[in-house]
């Protein structure tokens, strides 16, 4: 816990960043980039949010996020399953139903994700204002 009383974590992130570079500098072996590319993609966050309250079926997720194509929904769920963040359970009913849920690992992502979402909610007005200002200046 390196709190120098300054409450700045900028240097913290900068330090880590420098460390990644020293340790190889190869972007392909950088786990942070690999992980963040997932977390950051357009649908992953939304789907994880949708599953945060409990397991949902494929159709239910689709209803909750209407503007995702089935193709992307399937793919994103596969990726989540592959990375151990989500579970996929098939019930041999007819028609078959499939239920997706978060693993403990997936649930552990909710914490930082919620922080990020909270930041977005706090600051979207400021961002919108900045955009308006920027457009006016050019």
Please give the residues from 24 up to 53 whose contact with its own copies meets the rule CB under 8 A: 27, 31-37, 39-42, 44-46, 48-50, 52-53
> Could you say which DSSP state residue 23 is in?
T
Compute the C-alpha angle 39/77/66, nearest 5°.
90
Length of the chain as a residue count: 138
The window from 18-26, 88-96, 109-117, 128-136 that contacts DNA (CB under 7 A) reads 88-96
Q: Which does 46 bind (CB under 5 to 8 A by kind): its own copies, DNA, none?
A: its own copies
> Looking at beta carbons only, is 9 or 75 nearer to DNA?
75
| Residue with token string 């649930």 | 107
Residue 129, number of CB atoms within 10 A of its CB: 10
- Binding residues among 55-84 for its own copies as defined by CB under 8 A: 64-67, 81-84
Q: Which does 94 bind (CB under 5 to 8 A by kind): DNA, its own copies, none?
A: DNA
CA distance 128 to 132: 6
């Amino acid at each position: 816990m390196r709190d120098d009383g300054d409450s700045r974590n900028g240097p913290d992130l900068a330090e880590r960043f420098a460390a990644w570079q020293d340790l190889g500098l190869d972007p392909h072996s950088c786990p942070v980039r690999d992980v963040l590319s997932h977390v950051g993609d357009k649908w992953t966050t939304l789907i994880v949010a949708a599953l945060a309250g409990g397991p949902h079926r494929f159709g239910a997720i689709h209803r909750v996020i209407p503007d995702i194509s089935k193709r992307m929904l399937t793919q994103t769920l596969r990726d989540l399953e592959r990375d151990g963040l989500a579970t996929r359970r098939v019930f041999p009913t007819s028609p078959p139903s499939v239920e997706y849920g978060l693993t403990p690992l997936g649930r552990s992502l909710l914490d930082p994700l919620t922080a990020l979402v909270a930041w977005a909610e706090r600051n979207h007005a400021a961002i919108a204002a900045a955009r308006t200002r920027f457009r006016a200046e050019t």
